Structure 1
Amino acid sequence: MDATASAHAAALWVGLHLILLLVLSLMVVRQRRLHGVVLGDADIPKLVQAVRAFGNATEYVPAGLVAIAVLAMVGAPPMVVHLSGLLLLAGRVSHAVGLSRSGGASILRSAGVILTWLAYILGGVALIFYAIP
């Protein structure tokens, strides 16, 4: 396998996820400034939603990025790296949009969770496959 192509694929998805985390962080800052909240969420629904959207992404994205990076390191085909990255990003964006629109259950939040779990399953199974000599 072309390790360079896999590394480039991983770089793309790591970069896109970092931008996602930055955008979600800026949404928290915007809500804090809008409501004059320095610490915590002051039980303001829009601020709570922004904090949770960022927090949830920071809970799921790092492990997904580790899987993507290790897939590239072990020489997984770029398509596997791209599919893992796409599923994770689509899941996290979907979940964040759904959570930003409503604090309750929503189709976007559910789709986000499912896509994220599919990225985890794909990454996990592929890593186990590449771990077997």
Structure 2
Amino acid sequence: MNLVSLPITAIYAALSAFLVIALAANVVRFRLSKHVSLGDGGHKEGSRAIRAHGNTVEYVPLALILMALLELNGASDTALHIYGILLVGGRLLYSYGLLFPKPSANLPRQLGVLSSWIVIVAAGVQLLII
């Protein structure tokens, strides 16, 4: 049996998993506090909590798959750590920016989106050229 080890991707998958659970718990906290069983009950706070969780669940799996494929294909540890840090850090920034919005342009949220896109595009390009 041939076992595959992806230790770098595993680190960022674990950190992402903790973030997803924390964001899900935030949705549950909101729903319990407002007695809402489904959706956001018309509350902006609930909508933000749901989108912070949902957006993370939408972006993280693709980025981790790309990272795993890169790791399997011999990408450098440095590149993988850069992608992982940008992914997890970006998702944290995005969530912070969405859950604690500012009245003006929301830099944490913008940086979070940008960092996730950079990871996905750069990892995709790197997969095509390695």
Is the shorter-chain TM-score for this pair beyond 0.5, marking a shared fold?
A: yes
Alignment-derived partner of residue 125 in structure 1: 125
The match for 2:66 is 67
- Structure 2: gaps (5+ residues): none
Percent sequence identity is 33
2:25 paired residue number: 26
TM-aligned CA deviation for residue 28 of structure 1: 0.4
Distance in 2 (CA, whole Å) between partners of 1:13 and 1:75 is: 17
* Structure 2: distance between partners of 1:48 and 1:103: 16
Preserved CA contact (<8 Å) 1:45 1:103 = no
Aligned residues: 126
Q: Partner residue of 1:77?
A: 76
- Note the 1:1-133 alignment, pairs <5 A: 7-102=6-101, 105-130=105-130
More helix by share: 1
In 2, Cα distance between equivalents of 1:69 and 1:21 = 19
The SS at the match of 1:38 is: coil
Q: CA deviation at 1:103?
A: 8.1
In the alignment, the residues of structure 2 paired with residue 119 and residue 112 of structure 1 have an alpha-carbon distance, to the nearest angstrom, of 11
Letter in 2 for 1:125: V
Distance 1:76 1:111 in 2: 25
TM, length-normalised to structure 1: 0.88
| Deviation at residue 114 of structure 1 after TM alignment | 1.1
In structure 1, the gaps of 5 or more residues are none
Q: After superposition, give the CA deviation of every residue in 1:31-62 in whole Å (9 maximum; x if it has no partner).
A: 01111111111111111110010011111111
SS class of match (1:96): helix
RMSD: 1.6
- Deviations along 1:52-81, one digit per CA (max 9) or x if unpaired, are 100111111111011111111111111111
TM-score under structure 2 length normalisation: 0.90
